Amino acid sequence: MTSASLRRLLVLAVGFLVVAPPLSAQAGRVRIIQTNAGGDNVHLIDPTTQQVVDVIMGIQIPHGVTAAPDGSELYITNEVDHTVDVVSTATLRVTAKIPLSDNPNNLAITPDGRKLYVAIAGAPWVDVIDTQQQRRLTRIPMLSGVHNTYVTPDGLFAVAGMIGARTMTVIDTQTDMPVWSVHFDGGVRPIGFERNPDGSTKRAFVQISDYHGFYVVDWATRSIVERIRAPELPLSQVSNDALQGSPSHGFAVSPDGTQLWTTSKPNSHLYVYSLPDLRLLGGVEVGHDPDWLTMTPDGRFVYSANAGSNNVSVIDTREIREVARIPVGNVPKRNHTVVIR
């Protein structure tokens, strides 16, 4: 059986439950890329039909995922081979495997698509990858192994979050040197960013080990200015299994900068806050153990990777309700939105 035939069979097998309304017109073909940390496959969801339309096979324990700005390539960290696997979106085949210095977690790309910043969980540094030469340029020393990396929307900084060191470190993307850090009272988990009107970074939202909610960091003063605790449900409605020390794990900031979406694992909920005032607008129940979020480019839908129930919840951000729940692979965690032009 060919790999293309196998992918088609897998797509038929996963199926779907509910079809949401179509998206408004987008420039290019939009796909939600869903990695499955308990297997060797990655699912592609079409947000116009809310169906799985293809499956990438053969990437062992895929962790983080990002994409080239034009959508031509996906970059996926492979925890077994300790590589960044490069996947052509035209063929859905791995075209290159870029060696890393140790076991990776998440990764992020600069807006020009030239550099990847890879979180190395197995050693205290960030690997910097040249995407054109497909090789490691350097590694940036950190205080401990790195769980997640990000690039700020303006591309000026990469940000590394460390669990062991309880630190968020900001890196200048021109020099690849650390420039400042903020220390927390728990391990640093996912991070989200709010922009100023000129596109520069205004605030960082940081989820912390063993804290049900998130911290707010003022970018200009480099200080923690607020803590927002997630709503509490009656104990009969709460689940505390498989939380991995991170009751809140996942952010999405709407493209227009008016909404911040967060996850609650014990509540099996997503919560949405208004920006900039961080007023709670509502919540919606999703699958078990929501672990990561991504949004469509128009901000209409947010996708929750439900690691404990092996599916993806699709939330209508206007109505704040779940409109679909899509079966995927084992232990879906990181996801990413790509526009293929």
Question: What dihedral do alpha carbons 283, 235, 242, 192 form, nearest 10°?
Answer: 30
CA distances from 336 to 71, 184, 224 (A): 11, 27, 28
CATH number where 336 lies: 2.130.10.10
- Answer for the pair 327, 310: CB distance below 8 angstroms, yes or no: yes
For the chain, what is the domain count? 1
> How does pLDDT run along the chain (341 residues), one tens digit per residue?
444 444 444 433 333 333 333 443 346 899 999 999 999 999 999 999 999 999 999 999 999 999 999 999 999 999 999 999 999 999 999 999 999 999 999 999 999 999 999 999 999 999 999 999 999 999 999 999 999 999 999 999 999 999 999 999 999 999 999 999 999 999 999 999 999 999 999 999 999 999 999 999 999 999 999 999 999 887 767 776 656 689 999 999 999 999 999 999 999 999 999 999 999 999 999 999 999 999 999 999 999 999 999 999 999 999 999 999 999 999 999 999 999 98
Query: pTM (2 decimals)?
Result: 0.90
Structural contact between residues 307 and 286, judged by C-beta atoms closer than 8 angstroms: no
The secondary structure of 317-331, three-state, reads CCCCEEEEEEECCCC
Domain that holds residue 293: 3-340
Instruction: Find tokens 């197995």 and name the residue.
Output: 122
